[in-house]
Structure 1
């Protein structure tokens, strides 16, 4: 099987959130071929280079989202009119303005823009799913028609990069925001807001101008697998629209949720318009995809809220490599019984302030207890937050050391993995009896799974997918509640037998549900399921002239004649080369044509 793997800011680059699981997936499915289509996010990412690629990666094609070169495409009068109509309709949907002004809601009036948005064999533009999770809506149709209209224009004109960055695009967005019926946040957009939104849309829509969708590109793969939502899914949508390639969408974090979490201080107009774009694009991706997978039920609920059909949803937990944690997991008694451990990226969402206040309460009841905070800061904000936490630790324990830098004197130590004491993550978890997670925002808690693989009892806040991951093998408390966090930690510190039972149960659960092997097996089954029911798009022969697997259905190898009682020409299954058209033949008992031939 040949898979087109679509990534944004991840594999095959050294950095990126999706790099590890993509690399494990490609290496674990060595029997299949992968073509990687990667979108990079920064110059630094490109400078760091790629990870070593396995032999089953046939080729890699990349494009930049952080900078754009001028495509030297000058649109003619009719093309400019088409662009204005399509982009105007797309922005009108984002602003909540009624349709009809651009012509895409029905007849264009000029005959230049057909009813776009119908992929081969799709039967319609919406796929039967709306943002509210119900049936198709006019807004979903309008967004799809506008999006695929822009894609067809980009294909006809060899790109739209210049048009999307033009003043005309900004003015089109402004007209949509000022149109009667637009929602309040859009109407109040100022010039800086319009420029920010237009710039974001230009970057997000850059895949429209790529030359990835011909028969020598994504048109040659058996299925497209988007490793995330957002911009990464656009090449898959266009490959499905132009050539009928089936699409699989995998999300370990829903882009709309990420937008809400990472842009809380953005102006209301920018926040509202970009949220509308993410929501509409997600709904279109879910409608077009054959199957949509989520990394946990928390993300799955977000997908349903954004319009995903329940029948398409699967939960595939991220696969963790259990081998680095095997030694710690098999010898849990080596841990210091008086040490709490926190591991992760240092940032405000981890709420280390509450953890430090909780630890002050723990020290009152268990004076010998120590706390090891292990992790590096995430960017400038994380560095500032780390400094604040160091200062708070010095204030909470002023009489025990000169400062929090003295790891041997102060009960709180701030450390990073890679030093002489903690050369690897497993050493951090093995150094303590209880692992603590204090986050106020969390997706899939990777550090919690690592602690479980090490056989450690855990105390966690009830956020994101924590309860789903723990499953009764650890203690869960409300977020931002230092007293509850302290009481749970004290309960485990005082009861070594309970710690041992919970740790053993946690390790068994992690080995059953969260390993690389289960992740690879799940996706292998999904690949086969999608391809087995996908329509035949072409006949592919090997060097000997025999059909390649999945190129023709199994019925084609049977020496029988499939008859269609209708008087029209029919498709006949032959033993070797594939399908041929022959005159109609009457059959006493009609036999239905194979599914791929319908």
Structure 2
């Protein structure tokens, strides 16, 4: 079958979200063909190019979500709309704005009346149809008419108080955000030779990527699969917390909540990456019967040697691995380590416990946080941090992968008797799975999907509680037999649930299930352009010699398995909105 893989800010670009997971999925499903539809987030991301693509990627089409202000009038938006088009836009956009001002601000669409959800859907698809007819809506979405429609909705009776208080700068900010969020409506992907030719759309995230699949379903009836390893709506809420205006936060929360609910309502299957994401999706309106948890797949190969050699661990060493940023709460970890040193003072042999912090800072904020942590470590351990032998005697070391003591990620985990995770915010803890594949005992804070991943093979403590973290670490440092037992159980659990093979097999089964249950209705035409009823037998989708005749059918817009060998697009330099 042919899969339309929909991505935002990731695959096939060298950097970005879910790049590695998408690449492993595509390479693991060589029996299928993939058309990749990628939305880029920055000019730098496009300039970095693509990763090498396997032969099953038939074509790639890209479009930017980052264009500069002066370049936003694209494809069909440089010309004036006719009176009828302007009237239709005003009606649809006004309806959309009205829905955003209905009910409590930020209220989850699952609890809103069904009529409001239908109003939002009708407005969204009305704008999509107008964009398809007019060649784009970018100019209209940034126009004065759009701002005035938002203003009327905010001033209407029954609108929330925060919306009533919206001022002109707030309305301009909301209009600009909606234009970016609705930019997929103006793409030229929704044609018979575009998303109309695939058998299934697989969105690698919610938001803009899933919106393109939503439109493919609306125009062509293509089934939609949505995978979220990090819930897009939750990410928006966290990012919007920094907005200065309550009106902007209220209106944008309403829009993203409604969009997420519509995506979940129309999707044929939704695959959260863990129970934490699943609860978010259910709260935002996802039907429980559509949800199938599929854990992210990790490559166990690099950790195999370490996982089978528990004796490599240094018995008095704690190791933390990850990106250095405030959400990892290394401050609590350092205070906990000071407690560990205090608790172990009276033990026989005076063990010299060490803490290795292995990881690079994430951006400017991460670099500032790393500096703060270094200063704190010097303050907590002044005797060891000063003097002619300060570097060698300091029990806390800050390192990066590739250094002399940690040349690889597996080496970093190998040195630890106990691996520690101290985060206050965490989605799916990839680092924890890596530690489990290495057969190491772990102590983690109870955030995100940690408990679900650990499953009883490690110790879990409350976040922001250095004393509890220290006591759990000491309990494992004092008991080598328990560490070995927990590490072996953790490795077995990771190999069973969190490998690439498990992930690929799960999606292969889901693809077949969706296509068999929701085939795309297409009309096969003969040479004269007349419909050919029953031209494609049901057996055409089943591999075997009886399908040879079916594959010789001349199909225009027909099922991909009946259209003969595909015409493979030439892959060259990135081209906005076009196959390459």
Interval of TM-score (by shorter of Structure 1 and Structure 2): 0.7 to 0.9
The alpha carbon displacement at 1:553 in A equals 2.3
Tell me, yes or no, if the aligned pair for 1:556 and 1:576 is still in contact at 8 Å: no
The residue that corresponds to 1:511 in the other structure is: 495
Tell me, yes or no, if the aligned pair for 1:372 and 1:413 is still in contact at 8 Å: yes
The alpha carbon displacement at 1:578 in A equals 8.6
Query: Secondary structure of 1:214's partner?
Result: coil
Closer/same/farther in 2, CA of residues 307 and 406 from structure 1, 3 Å limit? farther
Matched, 1:315 2:293: yes
The residue that corresponds to 2:73 in the other structure is: 70
The residue that corresponds to 1:451 in the other structure is: 435
Work out the CA distance in 2 between the residues paired with 1:96 and 1:435: 49
Q: TM-score, normalised by structure 2?
A: 0.87
The alpha carbon displacement at 1:530 in A equals 0.5
The residue that corresponds to 2:33 in the other structure is: 33
For structure 1, the 5+ residue unaligned runs are 99-129, 558-573, 580-598
The alpha carbon displacement at 1:519 in A equals 0.2
The alpha carbon displacement at 1:462 in A equals 0.5
Work out the CA distance in 2 between the residues paired with 1:491 and 1:377: 30
Tell me, yes or no, if the aligned pair for 2:536 and 2:550 is still in contact at 8 Å: no
The alpha carbon displacement at 1:540 in A equals 6.6
Work out the CA distance in 2 between the residues paired with 1:576 and 1:62: 30
Work out the CA distance in 2 between the residues paired with 1:529 and 1:96: 38
The alpha carbon displacement at 1:577 in A equals 8.6
Tell me, yes or no, if the aligned pair for 2:42 and 2:65 is still in contact at 8 Å: yes
Tell me, yes or no, if the aligned pair for 1:225 and 1:248 is still in contact at 8 Å: yes
Closer/same/farther in 2, CA of residues 403 and 378 from structure 1, 3 Å limit? farther
Size of the alignment, in residue pairs? 526
The residue that corresponds to 1:243 in the other structure is: 220
- 2:482 corresponds, among 498, 507, 518, to 498
Work out the CA distance in 2 between the residues paired with 1:140 and 1:285: 11
The alpha carbon displacement at 1:552 in A equals 4.5
Matched, 1:49 2:26: no
- 1:489 corresponds, among 464, 473, 484, to 473
The residue that corresponds to 1:84 in the other structure is: 90
The alpha carbon displacement at 1:156 in A equals 0.9
The residue that corresponds to 1:329 in the other structure is: 307
Closer/same/farther in 2, CA of residues 134 and 411 from structure 1, 3 Å limit? same
Residues 112-145 of structure 1 show CA distances to partners (whole Å, capped at 9, x for unaligned) of xxxxxxxxxxxxxxxxxx9554797011001100
Query: Secondary structure of 1:314's partner?
Result: coil
The alpha carbon displacement at 1:193 in A equals 2.2
Work out the CA distance in 1 between the residues paired with 2:132 and 2:540: 36
481-490 or 395-404: bigger deviation: 395-404
Matched, 1:16 2:39: no
Query: Secondary structure of 1:52's partner?
Result: coil
Matched, 1:140 2:143: no
Matched, 1:412 2:396: yes
Tell me, yes or no, if the aligned pair for 2:154 and 2:163 is still in contact at 8 Å: yes
Tell me, yes or no, if the aligned pair for 1:404 and 1:413 is still in contact at 8 Å: no
Q: TM-score, normalised by structure 1?
A: 0.84
Tell me, yes or no, if the aligned pair for 1:320 and 1:516 is still in contact at 8 Å: yes
Closer/same/farther in 2, CA of residues 443 and 410 from structure 1, 3 Å limit? same
Matched, 1:275 2:275: no
Tell me, yes or no, if the aligned pair for 2:11 and 2:18 is still in contact at 8 Å: yes
Tell me, yes or no, if the aligned pair for 1:374 and 1:416 is still in contact at 8 Å: yes
Work out the CA distance in 2 between the residues paired with 1:168 and 1:77: 13
For structure 2, the 5+ residue unaligned runs are 346-351, 527-531, 543-548, 555-580
75-84 or 437-446: bigger deviation: 75-84
Tell me, yes or no, if the aligned pair for 2:419 and 2:443 is still in contact at 8 Å: yes
Matched, 1:256 2:241: no
Closer/same/farther in 2, CA of residues 576 and 369 from structure 1, 3 Å limit? closer
The residue that corresponds to 1:214 in the other structure is: 191
Residues 328-361 of structure 1 show CA distances to partners (whole Å, capped at 9, x for unaligned) of 1011111111111111111111111111111110
Work out the CA distance in 1 between the residues paired with 2:302 and 2:523: 45
Work out the CA distance in 1 between the residues paired with 2:247 and 2:259: 18
The residue that corresponds to 2:276 in the other structure is: 298
- 1:171 corresponds, among 132, 148, 151, to 148
Larger fraction in helix: 2
430-439 or 508-517: bigger deviation: 430-439
The alpha carbon displacement at 1:405 in A equals 12
Tell me, yes or no, if the aligned pair for 1:322 and 1:511 is still in contact at 8 Å: yes
Work out the CA distance in 1 between the residues paired with 2:387 and 2:306: 31
Work out the CA distance in 2 between the residues paired with 1:532 and 1:403: 71
173-182 or 351-360: bigger deviation: 173-182
Closer/same/farther in 2, CA of residues 77 and 402 from structure 1, 3 Å limit? farther
408-417 or 231-240: bigger deviation: 408-417
**1:523-562 equivalences in 2 (<5 Å):** 523-538=507-522, 552-554=537-539
Tell me, yes or no, if the aligned pair for 1:536 and 1:551 is still in contact at 8 Å: no
Closer/same/farther in 2, CA of residues 379 and 64 from structure 1, 3 Å limit? same
RMSD, aligned CA: 2.5
Work out the CA distance in 2 between the residues paired with 1:422 and 1:255: 34
Closer/same/farther in 2, CA of residues 556 and 474 from structure 1, 3 Å limit? closer
Closer/same/farther in 2, CA of residues 405 and 296 from structure 1, 3 Å limit? farther
Residues 218-244 of structure 1 show CA distances to partners (whole Å, capped at 9, x for unaligned) of 000000000000111111011111111
Matched, 1:200 2:177: yes
196-205 or 446-455: bigger deviation: 196-205
Tell me, yes or no, if the aligned pair for 1:405 and 1:414 is still in contact at 8 Å: no
Closer/same/farther in 2, CA of residues 63 and 406 from structure 1, 3 Å limit? farther
Tell me, yes or no, if the aligned pair for 1:394 and 1:404 is still in contact at 8 Å: no
The alpha carbon displacement at 1:375 in A equals 1.2
**1:432-447 equivalences in 2 (<5 Å):** 432-447=416-431
The alpha carbon displacement at 1:178 in A equals 1.8
Work out the CA distance in 1 between the residues paired with 2:389 and 2:519: 63
Query: Secondary structure of 1:422's partner?
Result: coil
Work out the CA distance in 2 between the residues paired with 1:251 and 1:95: 27
Work out the CA distance in 1 between the residues paired with 2:525 and 2:263: 31
The residue that corresponds to 2:348 in the other structure is: none
Work out the CA distance in 2 between the residues paired with 1:377 and 1:269: 34
Work out the CA distance in 2 between the residues paired with 1:58 and 1:186: 47
